[in-house]
Amino acid sequence: MSEVLLSQLAHVELFSPKPEETVNWMKEVLGLEETTREGQSVYLRGWAEWLHSSLIVTEAPEPGIGRIGWRTYGPGDAEIIAKRLDGTEEEVGWVDDWTGHGATYQYRSPHGRHLHEVFWDVDLYQAPEDKFDPAMPNRPQKYVNRGAGARYLDHITFPSPNMKGDIDFYKQFGARHTAQTEVEPGFTVFSTLTCNGIRSTHDVAIVPDFSGMTGRAHHLAFRVDQRLDVERAAEAFIAAGTPIEFGPGVHGIDEITYLYVREPGGFRIEINAGGWVNTMPDWETRTYQAAGGNPGQSIYRNIEAPDGFYTAWPLPPEEAADKEQAAIRDEKVAAFSGQKASPEGFIDG
Ligand SMILES: [Fe+2]
Question: Could you tell me if residue 346 is inside a domain?
Answer: no
CA of 150 to the centre of ligand 1 (A): 14
Instruction: Please tell me the predicted confidence (pLDDT) of residue 2.
Output: 77
CA of 87 to the centre of ligand 1 (A): 33
Is residue 345 very low, low, confident or very high in pLDDT (cuts 50, 70, 90)? very low
Question: Could you tell me if residue 178 is inside a domain?
Answer: yes
Output 349 or 309, whichever has higher pLDDT. Answer: 309
Instruction: Please tell me the predicted confidence (pLDDT) of residue 317.
Output: 84
CA of 327 to the centre of ligand 1 (A): 22
CA of 299 to the centre of ligand 1 (A): 14
CA of 86 to the centre of ligand 1 (A): 31
CA of 159 to the centre of ligand 1 (A): 12
- pLDDT (average), residues 251-270: 97
Which amino acid does the sequence have at 124? Answer: L
Is residue 339 very low, low, confident or very high in pLDDT (cuts 50, 70, 90)? very low
Instruction: Please tell me the predicted confidence (pLDDT) of residue 322.
Output: 72
Q: What is the pLDDT of residues 172-202, one digit of tens each?
A: 999 999 999 999 988 999 999 999 766 656 9
Instruction: Please tell me the predicted confidence (pLDDT) of residue 340.
Output: 39
Indicate whether 263 pLDDT > 70: yes
Is residue 3 very low, low, confident or very high in pLDDT (cuts 50, 70, 90)? confident
CA of 346 to the centre of ligand 1 (A): 12
Instruction: Please tell me the predicted confidence (pLDDT) of residue 189.
Output: 94
Q: What is the pLDDT of residues 13-47, one digit of tens each?
A: 999 999 999 999 999 999 999 999 999 999 999 99
- 8 strand-pairing partners: 71
- pLDDT (average), residues 211-238: 97
CA of 220 to the centre of ligand 1 (A): 7
Domain total for the chain? 1
Helix (H/G/I), strand (E/B), else coil: 87: coil
Question: Could you tell me if residue 76 is inside a domain?
Answer: yes
CA of 46 to the centre of ligand 1 (A): 17
- 104 strand-pairing partners: 95, 119
- pLDDT (average), residues 66-92: 97
CA of 129 to the centre of ligand 1 (A): 35
**Checking DSSP bridges between strand 6-16 and strand 64-72, what pairing results, if any?**
antiparallel
CA of 324 to the centre of ligand 1 (A): 20
Question: Could you tell me if residue 349 is inside a domain?
Answer: no
Render the burial of 198-237: b for 16+ CB within 10 Å, e for the rest: ebbbbbbbbbbbbbebbbbbbbbbbbbeeeebbebbbebb
Indicate whether 305 pLDDT > 70: yes
Indicate whether 211 pLDDT > 60: yes
> Among 103-112, 135-144, 183-192, 236-245, where is mean pLDDT lowest?
183-192
CA of 330 to the centre of ligand 1 (A): 23
Helix (H/G/I), strand (E/B), else coil: 15: strand
Which amino acid does the sequence have at 167? Answer: I
- pLDDT (average), residues 274-291: 91
Question: Could you tell me if residue 344 is inside a domain?
Answer: no
CA 82 to chain centre: 23
Percent of the chain whose predicted confidence (pLDDT) is above 70: 91
CA of 202 to the centre of ligand 1 (A): 8
d(CA 236, CA 38): 29
CA of 222 to the centre of ligand 1 (A): 9
Is residue 320 very low, low, confident or very high in pLDDT (cuts 50, 70, 90)? low
Indicate whether 104 pLDDT > 80: yes
Nearest 5°: phi and psi at 228? -65, -25
CA of 17 to the centre of ligand 1 (A): 23
CB 157 within 8 A of CB 201: no
The mean of the pLDDT values for the chain is 91
How many CB atoms are located within 10 Å of the residue 289 CB? 16
pTM: 0.91
CA 92 to chain centre: 22
Instruction: Please tell me the predicted confidence (pLDDT) of residue 292.
Output: 80
CA of 79 to the centre of ligand 1 (A): 30
- pLDDT (average), residues 329-343: 53
CATH assignment of the domain containing 265: 3.10.180.10
For residue 278, give Cα distances in angstroms to 140, 208, 253, 320.
Answer: 26, 24, 11, 38
Determine whether 271 is exposed, middle or buried from the number of CB atoms within 10 Å of its CB (0-12, 13-18, 19+).
buried
CA of 156 to the centre of ligand 1 (A): 7
Nearest 5°: phi and psi at 39? 60, -130
Domain that holds residue 30: 6-336
Instruction: Please tell me the predicted confidence (pLDDT) of residue 324.
Output: 64
CB 17 within 8 A of CB 61: yes
CA of 157 to the centre of ligand 1 (A): 6
DSSP 8-class letter at 111: T
> Among 61-65, 168-172, 291-295, 332-336, where is mean pLDDT lowest?
332-336
Indicate whether 336 pLDDT > 90: no
d(CA 312, CA 158): 8
CA of 65 to the centre of ligand 1 (A): 15
Question: Could you tell me if residue 347 is inside a domain?
Answer: no
Question: Could you tell me if residue 341 is inside a domain?
Answer: no
CA of 201 to the centre of ligand 1 (A): 9
Question: Could you tell me if residue 103 is inside a domain?
Answer: yes
How many CB atoms are located within 10 Å of the residue 319 CB? 8
CA of 95 to the centre of ligand 1 (A): 30
CA of 276 to the centre of ligand 1 (A): 15
